[in-house]
Amino acid sequence: MDGGTGDSGGDGGGGAPVGVQIQQSRRLPDFLQSVNLKYVKLGYHYLISNLLTLCLIPVMIGILIEVSQMNPEDILQLWFHLKYNLVSVIICSAILVFGSTVYIMTRPRPIYLVDYSCYRPPDDLKAPFNQFMEHSRLTGDFDESSLEFQRKIVQRSGLGEETYVPEAMHYIPPRPSMAAARKEAEQVMYGALDNLFNNTNVKPKDIGILVVNCSLFNPTPSLSAMIVNKYKLRGNIRSFNLGGMGCSAGVIAIDLAKDLLRVHRNTYAVVVSTENITQNWYFGNKKAMLIPNCLFRVGGAAVLLSNKSVDRRRAKYKLVHVVRTHRGADDKAFRCVYQEQDDNGKTGVSLSKDLMAIAGGALKTNITTLGPLVLPISEQLLFFATLLVKKLFNENVKPYIPDFKLAFDHFCIHAGGRAVIDELEKNLHLLPAHVEASRMTLHRFGNTSSSSIWYELAYTEAKRRMRKGHRVWQIAFGSGFKCNSAIWEALQNVTPSPNGPWEDCINKYPVKVIS
């Protein structure tokens, strides 16, 4: 669990007045002020790595045009010419075969997103504001200052009245236990997987790769082993369990599955992204640790990936790029989202007052690397030209911040809190329509950690806005500190799958969120 993209109303420390100390630190830095050249170079390195493919395409088009214009006499003349130049023919053929072999062997295998499913909790787990505050008061663990702090956080968080908390938190007093945490994990993971298998008609035995990510709950046997046992997956399955990686772990899991699918042919991979709240509710009075209680809610997603060419016809998306940024070498970044005990021995996740500044730095690094991979040539030239002028002639020249709206049709910004969505909308010059999916996901489901980007994608599909060829940018932040991006391209006019999370309520959205 990662509270790193928290709300706009809290402070970063013990008993400071609400909304005072982090007021200056909660905003993202202005990306116009500095851009690190080495990350631009990294992005261009990725681009140049595919230069052979980019050069071969126009050559092949030119050859096809020439061949299409030839008549039978031209073909006969070419045959007589080749007949008396056997050595040239052999050399050209060898070069052609060698080049084709190298291209086929080194070409990345396409990764298809066949379908995905987001878990929809039962209605009896809903936690309206008044119920949330009343339960917090009745536990007896929070003093009046902490209760008032939580009330203000919840009111300003961007969450609606229909988010969900786990069953153990509905009792008075709450009943967090290992058994209750396992029950929450089972309900979320199995609920998402059951729906995924039903919608895709894929048998569990066909799954060759399984990646599960959950940051704070890592029992023995692991969550991935629980899934293997439940669905009786095959004995040679390659299973992985990612823990402690925060809200951006969903993209990391996709990246791991992608690498594995490019090695192991003709198979399916399932990625399960979730977080577990039951044993990670904070029952103390340190303000920096109370924010996650107010933001995090029950949720999870299961994603089916494939490297089978036959699945292209039915797949919803193709994976285009994954760009990962890790700032863990910096001590402030490493500790800005930190699980620890307070002075009274109560365990929770502490959020630094420098969190938004650190998130902004990670985001800037990530998009600087991502830009050369996705932006139109015109935007890249403008960006690179102004950067060159700044480096060589005038340090006061502000770098040109490219228009990412030209590269992407849809944005799935991790629904960590209202403040981070506001700041990304501002810094990336996005329109309200571009962040609608993020705001509505936060309102309806709260911060579901690494799975939030899938609820957002499901929102876009439910609104019937996803057309063939559209590009989607999923971006998430996580403890460590990390900022990760995944880029998808729609292979068809995508419609929502059955039993989606927005199925019975999409017509109510968008709603106006009270600031």
- Reading the block at residue 206, the tokens are 């066909």
Query: Exactly one of 118, 214, 247, 336 is catalytic; which is it?
Result: 247
- Reading the block at residue 464, the tokens are 């019937």
Query: Exactly one of 280, 336, 427, 443 is catalytic; which is it?
Result: 443
Q: Is residue 326 flagged as an active site residue?
A: yes
Q: Is the dihedral angle over the CA atoms 196, 435, 18, 477 positive or is it negative?
A: positive
**Which one, of 387, 384, 364, lies nearest residue 376 by Cα?**
384
Distance in angstroms (rounded) separating the CA atoms of residues 262 and 259: 5
Contact 368, 36 (CB under 8 A): yes
Residue 334's CB is within 10 A of a number of other CB atoms, namely 15
- Reading the block at residue 194, the tokens are 């059951």
Residues 6+ positions from 154 with CB-CB distance below 8 Å: 129, 132, 133, 294
Interaxial angle between packed helices 355-374 and 37-49, expressed in degrees from 0 to 180 and rounded to the nearest 10: 30
Contact 52, 62 (CB under 8 A): no
* Residues written for the chain: 515
Distance in angstroms (rounded) separating the CA atoms of residues 373 and 48: 10
Query: Exactly one of 241, 447, 483, 484 is catalytic; which is it?
Result: 447
Q: Is residue 410 flagged as an active site residue?
A: yes
**Which one, of 481, 373, 368, lies nearest residue 420 by Cα?**
481
Residue 164 is given by DSSP the state B
Strand partners, 321: 487
End-to-end CA distance of the chain: 25
Query: Exactly one of 214, 307, 410, 427 is catalytic; which is it?
Result: 410
Residue 305 is given by DSSP the state E
Longest dimension (CA), the chain: 96
Query: Exactly one of 414, 427, 434, 484 is catalytic; which is it?
Result: 414
Q: Summarize the chain as % helix, strand, coil (round to 5).
A: 50, 15, 35
Q: Strands 207-213, 238-242: parallel, antiparallel or unpaired by DSSP? A: parallel
Query: Exactly one of 293, 326, 366, 483 is catalytic; which is it?
Result: 326
Q: Is residue 396 flagged as an active site residue?
A: no
Residues taking part in catalysis: 247, 326, 410, 414, 443, 447
